[in-house]
Structure 1
Amino acid sequence: MLTLIGLLTICSLVVLLLIGRMSPVLPLIVVPLLGALAAGFGPEAISGFFTDGIGRVTAIATMFVFAITFFGVLQDTGLFRPLIGGMVRLTRGNVIAVTVATAVIGMLAHLDGAGATTFLLTVPALLPLYKQLRMSPYLMLLLLALGAGIFNMLPWAGPLGRASAVTGIEVTELWRPLITIQGIGVVLLIVLAALLGWREQRRIAAGKSGDEGVLVETSTDLHEPSAEERELERPRLLWANATLFLAVLVSLFSGVLPAGYIFMIGLCLALLINYPGGKAQMQRISAHAPAALSMGMIILAAGSMLGIFTGTGMLTSIAQDLAQVLPAPLVGQMHIVLGLFGLPMELMLSTDAYYFGLLPVTLEVVGAQGVEPASVVYALTIGNIIGTFISPFSPALWLALGLAGLDLGRHIRYSLWWMWGFSLVLFGAAWGLGLF
């Protein structure tokens, strides 16, 4: 009976997250609560489940709130804009240089872990160049999406935070083994960008059109910052901000302090350096509070969900029954099988549904076979994360499509096989390195 209630609860949660007609916070809180009540648990037991679950994710939620605000303030100062603008200027007229620069720019722009910021910084700046050279804008979007996918493995980007909330493993501990995979991804993407640039150069020379599917014209002036954005920029403090940015990254890598505390200190220094005065500092915090609070609330809501799923025994019951149904050789390899098909699953599952619905069940199934939770996270994450910005459930992708005037269906047809192939190569590299 508990297995049936658990399956109905998880399926209801996944469906509501997929429909997307309400904030993820609502189903993450309400659906598990109803499941616990249906399973016969009272307020006292549920309170204990809640306390245990929230305790597992408090540090993660803290990190996200301060990390998002920290990177938002650095974006306000214009730290990354000169670098991106300079690369765009350097590549004019050379198709292969443009594709390589696009890949690099996509990765750099995603250093803050926010997909919307990535596309706002890059698409308006690059699109006029692609049009001028008669290059396909779908190629631009493919390269930006791949670069952002690689850097979406950063601990403050979202997926690892969700995985950390589910497993209880500190997010920077999950990230450190992935740095090598990210490095491999960077090299592979630059090589792939050069090859696709060579192919695009040949297509242009043959006189074939690459602009099919462009729905609207985009002004070549969109990349110019507004007057309000110019007021916030601090070009004279560029090196101070760059040093602070690197210091935060080194601190995260070394683990000298908890990640949340590092971002607290980093945010304080960023505000003191760039926006002295209480009023200006509160304005910057307020400007980024919606994004920071939204992510923090999702992580806390996920903590309450996982506390109930774990405390009620639903996940254990589902895993035990599933292990009896699956062929014996497949049970211990379930995470690898799912990882191989992780990218196409992006077309069917949102990020929240993938990490809060699929991951917990997989952990329970393979955990009984002695598989470490970190191994499960790496298999599912590496197999899936490159496809983040091909998913129709990604709001940032819709923003990118709108900025470039492109069609989702054409983007999927153009990019899916390249992205899945790229994902499988990284998956194989991680497998070879023993991550799972």
Structure 2
Amino acid sequence: MLSIIGLLTILIVVVLLISGKVSPFVGLLLVPIGGAFAAGFNLGQIGEFFTSGTQSVFSVVVMFIFAIIFFGIMQDVGVFDPLINKMIALTRGNVIAVAVGTVVIAAIAQMDGSGASTFLITIPALLPLYKRLKMNPYLLLMLVGTSASIVNMVPWGGPLGRVAAVLEMDVTELWRPLIQIQLIGLVLLVVLAVVLGYREKRLIAKNGEESRETDEDTSTIDSEDSPADKSAGYPKFYWLNVVLAFSVIGILVWGIIPAGFAFMIGVSIALPINYPKIQDQMGRIQAHAPGAILMATIILAAGSFLGILNGTDMLNSIATDLVNVLPAFVIPYLHIIIGVFGVPFDLLLSTDAYYFALFPIVEQIVTGFGVSSLSAAYAMIIGNIIGTFVSPLSPALWLALGLAGLEMGKHIRYSFMMMWGFSIVLLGIAIAIGVIAI
């Protein structure tokens, strides 16, 4: 019964997010509360689950608020404009080249293993370029998320660390056979980016934007930013702003201090440099705060959602019961089946529930039929990891949506099938080259 209630709770939330009938805040908060009541928990217990869940995402909320304000100020003063203009000049408005570049940039940014930092680095820099070229911002999010997911198979990424802990083995040994999968995956993603870029090019042409591909100087394309928001009066501080932006990003990658603290320091330095008057400083905060606060409330609601699902033990029950209800003849291939449906599982289970609850059960069952523990691990990792950034259970994805000003439901509709299909292809390749044994 607990699994049924949990599945219904998650299904209702996903349907509401996709349909856009209610705000994410409402769906993520009220639906799991109703599910917890239906499961027999009282208000006091639900309150404890809420506290646990929101505390787990509090650092993300702090980082999010000040990251939005910081990058908003950096965009106001035109820090990313030369980079955007240079990329436009190099590609001459070629959306295919931009799509391929997005994959490469995201892969490099993800080398630190942090999805949040990848989105913080790539989206503020690339989103204005996508807007200038009239490219779909959901394509940006899908390409960055998929590229980051492939690279996230590194030992210092979360999934491999969890699996290594379950198998009690060295994470580097677990990673080595996956290097070839990562390389193949990035090559395939570049090919997909070319295909999607070509499709995007046709859509832009269909909408009367053929001039983006002509020989005219595309660097003169008007930005959607209001001139009033630019610090045109302080051009002499441009390079100081560039140094500040890259210093904050460097500290973020280095990880010497919490990300939220780094962005707080960045904001406190950027404001007086560019806006000497106190009223101007407050004006910039007021200009960027609404979007940051809105998404911060959604992240807190997502934390409450996860806290309730974990606290009520719904996620662990779902993982256990999904295995128990399967017919006997599929059991020897259970790791492959779970891998094929790994991306949809991202909509139902948190990363911890998938690797700490579902994986040990699957591994124990299939090893009884002669399947190695490593094959089970690789099937579940490769099948699931691509869906990391299409799941409403991912705090980093909410951060990305806030940075890009996009909606979760539309992102799922746009990206889910492509990411799931890509995951299945990558899983098939892993089987074909022997990384996964059937």
TM-score category (smaller protein): 0.5 to 0.7
Query: Match of 2:387, SS?
Result: helix
User: Shift of residue 230 of structure 1?
Assistant: 3.9
User: Distance in 2 between the 1:244 and 1:90 partners?
Assistant: 26
Amino acid at match of 1:121: P
Alignment-derived partner of residue 282 in structure 2? 282
Q: Distance in 1 between matches of 2:97 and 2:15?
A: 39
CA RMSD of aligned residues (A): 5.3
Q: What letter corresponds to residue 217 of structure 1 in structure 2?
A: G
- Given the superposition, is the C-alpha separation of residues 332 and 185 from structure 1 closer, same or farther in structure 2, using an over 3 Å criterion? closer
- 1:324-382 C-alpha deviation (Å, 9 max, x unpaired): 1234445556663334xx4xx6xxxxxxx9556675763432254579xx999975774
State the distance in 1 between where 2:122 and 2:226 align: 20
1:338 maps to which residue? 341
C-alpha change, 1:89 and 1:315, in structure 2 (3 Å) is closer
The residue aligned with 1:223 is: 222
TM-score for the superposition, normalised by structure 2: 0.62
Distance 1:422 1:378, change over 3 A: closer
Q: Distance in 2 between matches of 1:320 and 1:299?
A: 28
Q: Tell me what 1:171 maps to.
A: none
Distance, in Å, in 2 between the alignment partners of 1:106 and 1:195 is 10
CA distance, structure 1, for counterparts of residue 52 and residue 247 of structure 2: 34
Quote the residue 1:420 is aligned against: 422
Shift of 1:52: 1.6
Q: Within 5 Å, which residues of 2 pair with 1:25-424?
A: 25-92=25-92, 99-100=96-97, 103-104=100-101, 113=120, 121-123=128-130, 125-126=132-133, 146=143, 150=147, 188=187, 192=191, 211=202, 214-218=205-209, 222-224=221-223, 226-231=226-231, 234-326=234-326, 327-329=330-332, 336-339=339-342, 342=343, 354-355=346-347, 362-363=354-355, 364-368=357-361, 379=382, 382-384=385-387, 420=422, 424=426
Distance in structure 2 (CA, Å) of the matches to 1:433 and 1:273:
54
Q: Is the 8 A contact 1:36 1:46 kept in 2?
A: yes
CA contact (8 A) 2:143 2:193 kept: no
Q: Which residue of 2 aligns with 1:167?
A: none
- 1:216, 1:279 → 2: CA distance? 42
Aligned equivalents of 2:324, 2:204: Cα separation in 1: 49
Q: Distance in 1 between matches of 2:324 and 2:16?
A: 28
Displacement, 1:85?
Answer: 1.1
How far apart, CA to CA, are the structure 2 residues paired with 1:62 and 1:300?
11
CA contact (8 A) 2:103 2:147 kept: no
Change (3 A) 1:105 1:255: closer
Deviation at 1:31, TM superposition (A): 0.8
The answer as to whether partners of 1:338 and 1:380 remain within 8 angstroms in 2 is yes
Extract unaligned runs of 5+ from structure 1. Answer: 128-136, 162-176, 201-209, 346-352, 389-393, 401-408
CA spacing shift, 1:358–1:5, aligned 2, 3 Å: same
The SS at the match of 1:223 is coil
TM-superposed CA distance for 1:29, in Å, is: 0.7
Amino acid aligned to 1:420 = F
Q: Answer whether contact 1:387 1:420 (CA < 8 A) is retained.
A: no
Name the SS of the counterpart of 2:22 in structure 1: coil
Following TM superposition, by how much is the alpha carbon of 1:90 offset from its aligned partner in structure 2, in angstroms? Answer: 4.2
Q: How many angstroms apart in 2 are the aligned matches of 1:432 and 1:248?
A: 43
CA shift at 1:257, angstroms?
0.9
Matches of 2:121 and 2:151, distance apart in 1: 11
State which drifts further: 217-226 or 49-58: 217-226
C-alpha spacing 1:240/1:101, structure 2 compared with 1 (3 Å): same
Give the letter for the 2:387 counterpart. Answer: N
Tell me: CA distance 1:189–1:101, structure 2 relative to 1, closer, same or farther (3 Å): farther
SS at match of 2:40: coil
| 1:297-338 per-position Cα deviation (integer Å, ceiling 9, x unaligned) | 122111211221122222222222112123444555666333
1:63-113, CA deviations, whole angstroms, 9 ceiling, x for partnerless residues?
A: 1112222212111111111121133234449x7xx7435643787799764
**TM-score of the pair, normalised by structure 1:** 0.63
Deviates more, 1:356-365 or 1:287-296: 356-365
Q: Hey, what's the Cα distance between the residues in 1 that align with 2:185 and 2:272?
A: 34
Percent sequence identity over aligned pairs? 34
Give distance in 2, aligned partners of 1:304 and 1:40: 18
Alpha carbons of 1:105 and 1:50: their partners in 2 closer, same or farther (altered >3 Å)?
A: closer
Which 5+ residue runs of structure 2 have no aligned equivalent? 110-117, 159-174, 213-219, 365-376, 392-399, 407-412
CA distance in 2, matches of 1:43, 1:319: 25
CA distance in 1, matches of 2:233, 2:346: 38
Contact 2:346 2:388 (8 Å CA) reproduced: no
In 1, the alpha carbon distance for the partners of 2:354 and 2:30 equals 23
Moved more, 63-72 or 30-39: 63-72
Kindly indicate whether the alpha-carbon contact (under 8 Å) linking 1:107 and 1:148 is maintained by their aligned counterparts in 2. Answer: no
Paired AA for residue 358 in structure 2: V
**Counterpart contact for 2:6–2:314, Cα < 8 Å:** yes
Shift in Å at residue 30 of structure 1? 0.5
